[in-house]
A and B are shown apart, each in its own frame.
Chain A
Amino acid sequence: MAGEVDPQSDVSLMGGRARTLHLKALRKQWQIITLQIVSTIALVWMYLEVVSTYVVNSIDHTMLFASLEQLVGEVPIGDWLIGSGRTGLARFYVPIVLGLSLGGSMALLAFQSPRVQQRIKLGFIITLMVLLVGRLILTWIPSMLFSWDLRPPSESELKTLEWPLLMILSLVILFIYLLPVIMGTRGIWGLSRRSIGWAIGFTLLFLAIHAILTFPLIKSQLGDWGSNLISLESQVSDPTVGFLGFDLVTPEQFSLIMIAVLIMVFQESGFGVIRYLEYAYRLPESCKRDPEYVRQMDNVLNGHLRHTAGFLTVTGLVTMIALGFHSVLLEVVRNSTGSQWAAQVSESIELSLTYGLVISALLFLSLVAILRFFVPWQRVWGLIESMTNNQPEPVKEKEF
Chain B
Amino acid sequence: MWTRKASFTFTGGIALILIGMMITNNQMMILGLTLITFIVVNSWVSGHGDIEVQRTLSADNLYKGDDLYVELLVTNRSNRRTQLLDVYDNIPHEMKLRSGLNQMRLNLRPGESARIRYVLRCPLRGHYSIGPVSLRVRNTFNLGVEDMYVDHHSDIVIFPQIKEVEEAFLRSRTPKMYTGATTLRTPGQGSEFYSLREYVPGDPFKNINWKAFARTGDLMVNEKCRDAVTDLYILLDSRDVARIGTVLKNPLEMGTVSAASLAAFFLKRRDSVALGIYGDGLAYLPPDTGDKQYFKILSSLAGVKPEGSMPLQAVTNSLSGRFSRGSPVFVISSCEGDGTVPAAVRDLVGRGHEVTVLSPSSIDFERLVSRIPRMSYEVLKLERQNRLTTLAGSGAQVIDWMPDMDLSQAIMQVRGY
Contact between chains at B113 and A394 (CB < 8 Å): yes
**Any chain A CB within 8 A of the CB of B394?**
no
- Interface members, chain B 21-73 (any A CB < 8 Å): 21, 23-31, 33-38, 40-46, 56, 58, 67, 69, 71
* Cβ-defined contact, A400 with B33, below 8 A: no
The 6 closest A-B pairs by CB, nearest first: A382-B80, A260-B34, A296-B106, A299-B107, A234-B24, A307-B140
Within 8 A of A (CB), among B84-116: 84, 97, 99-101, 104-116
**B28 vs chain A, min Cβ distance (A):** 6
Report if B134 contacts A (CB, 8 A): no
Pick from B24, B56, B84 the residue with the most CB of A within 10 Å: B24
B34 touches A319 (CB 8 A): yes
Is the pair B34, A264 in contact by a Cβ cutoff of 8 Å? Answer: yes
25 residue pairs from A and B, CB less than 8 Å apart: A7-B100, A212-B23, A215-B25, A232-B26, A234-B24, A236-B26, A256-B26, A256-B30, A257-B34, A286-B100, A292-B117, A303-B81, A308-B140, A311-B140, A315-B34, A316-B34, A354-B20, A355-B21, A362-B36, A365-B33, A369-B40, A381-B81, A382-B81, A389-B111, A400-B56
Q: Is A32 an interface residue (CB 8 A)?
A: no
Contact A296:B114 (CB < 8 A) given known A2-B119, A386-B79, A400-B56 = yes
> Contact: B108 with A314, CB < 8 Å?
no
Q: How many angstroms from the CA of A355 to the CA of B29 in the assembled complex? A: 10
Contact between B79 and A233, CB atoms less than 8 A apart: no
Among B28, B41, B58, chain A packs the most CB atoms within 10 A around the CB of B41
> Is the CB of A157 closer than 8 A to any CB of chain B?
no
Residue numbers in B under 8 Å from A257 (CB-CB): 30, 34
- Minimum Cβ distance to chain A for residue B146 (Å): 15
B287 to chain A, nearest CB (A): 35
* A296-B104 in contact given A322-B33, A386-B111 (Cβ < 8 Å): yes
A290–B100 contact, CB under 8 A?
yes
Chain A nearest CB: distance from B348 CB in Å?
44
Contact A290–B117 (Cβ < 8 Å):
yes
Which B residues lie within 8 Å of A372 (CB)? 43-44
**Further pairs besides A252-B26, A295-B114, A322-B33: 18, Cβ < 8 Å:** A5-B69, A6-B99, A207-B27, A232-B25, A272-B140, A284-B100, A284-B101, A290-B117, A299-B108, A300-B106, A300-B107, A315-B34, A358-B29, A358-B33, A362-B33, A377-B44, A379-B79, A382-B110
CB distance from A311 to the nearest CB of B (A): 5
**Residue A378 CB within 8 A of the other chain:** yes
Contacts of B44 in A (CB 8 A): 372, 377
Q: How far is the CB of A324 from chain B (nearest CB, A)?
A: 12
Q: Is A385 an interface residue (CB 8 A)?
A: yes
Q: Report whether B45 and A311 are in contact in the complex, using a CB–CB cutoff of 8 Å.
A: yes
Query: Considering the chains assembled together, what is the distance between the CA atoms of A362 and B28 in angstroms?
Result: 15
- Chain B residue numbers with a CB within 8 Å of A178 are none
| Cβ contact within 8 Å between B28 and A211 | yes
Contact of A260 with B101 in the complex, beta carbons under 8 Å = no
What residues of B have a CB within 8 angstroms of the CB of A264 in the complex? 34, 38
A164 CB → nearest B CB, Å = 39
Whether, in the assembled complex, B17 has its beta carbon less than 8 Å from a beta carbon of chain A, the answer is yes
Give chain B residues whose Cβ lies under 8 Å from the Cβ of A312: 38
Per-residue 0/1 for A347-373: is the Cβ within 8 Å of any B Cβ (1 yes, 0 no)?
Answer: 000000011011001100100110010
B27: chain A residues at CB < 8 Å are 207, 210-211, 232, 256, 259
Contact of A292 among B35, B41, B81, B115 (CB under 8 A): B115
Per-position contact with B for A269-299: 1 when CB-CB < 8 Å, else 0? 0001001000100011011001011011101
A311 and B26 form a contact (CB under 8 A):
no
B205 within 8 A of A: no
B30 and A319 within 8 A (CB): yes
Cross-chain contact of A315 among B41, B71, B109, B110 (Cβ < 8 A):
B41
Residue in B23, B46, B83 whose Cβ sees the most chain A Cβ within 10 Å:
B23
In Å, the complex CA distance between A304 and B21 comes to 34
**Min CB distance, A77 to chain B, in Å?**
31
Residue in B closest to A10 when the chains form the complex, CB atoms: B117
Tell me whether B78 is interfacial, beta carbon within 8 Å.
yes
**Which A residues touch B114, using CB under 8 A?**
292, 295-296
Bound complex: CA of A311 vs CA of B41, how far in Å?
7
Partner of B43, one of A302, A369, A385: A369
Give bound CA distance, A386 to B110, whole Å.
6
Q: Is the CB of B112 within 8 A of A378?
A: no
Give A283's nearest chain B residue, CB to CB. Answer: B101
A394: chain B residues at CB < 8 Å are 113
Q: Give the chain B neighbours of A311 by CB distance below 8 A.
A: 38, 41-42, 45, 140-141
Chain B residues lying within 8 Å of A296, measured Cβ to Cβ, are 104-107, 114
In-complex Cβ contact of B81 among A283, A304, A361, A378 (8 A): A378
Q: Which residues of B lie under 8 Å from residue A208 when comparing CB positions?
A: 28
**Within the complex, what minimum Cβ distance (angstroms) separates B79 from chain A?**
5
Contact A378:B69 (CB < 8 A) given known A259-B31, A292-B115: no
CB neighbours of B111 from chain A (8 A): 386, 389, 391
| Contact assessment for B79 and A382 in the assembled complex, using a CB-CB cutoff below 8 Å | yes
Please, what's the 1-or-0 string for A1-26, where 1 marks a CB less than 8 Å from any CB in chain B? 11001110000000000000000000
Q: When the two chains form their complex, are residues B79 and A307 in contact, meaning their CB atoms are under 8 A apart? A: no
Residue A247 CB within 8 A of the other chain: no
What is the CB-to-nearest-CB distance from B47 to chain A, in angstroms, rounded to a whole number? 9
Contact check, A293 vs B104: say whether CB atoms are below 8 A apart. yes
- Which chain A positions have C-beta within 8 A of B110? 382-383, 385-386, 389
Whether the Cβ atoms of B109 and A391 lie closer than 8 Å is yes
For A386, list chain B residues within 8 Å (CB).
79, 109-111
Contacts of A6 in B (CB 8 A): 99-100, 119
Q: Which of A201-229 contact B (CB under 8 A)?
A: 207-208, 210-212, 214-216
Q: Is A397 an interface residue (CB 8 A)?
A: yes
Docked CA distance A212–B27 (Å): 11
CB distance from A260 to the nearest CB of B (A): 4
A358 touches B21 (CB 8 A): yes
A275 CB to nearest B CB, Å: 8
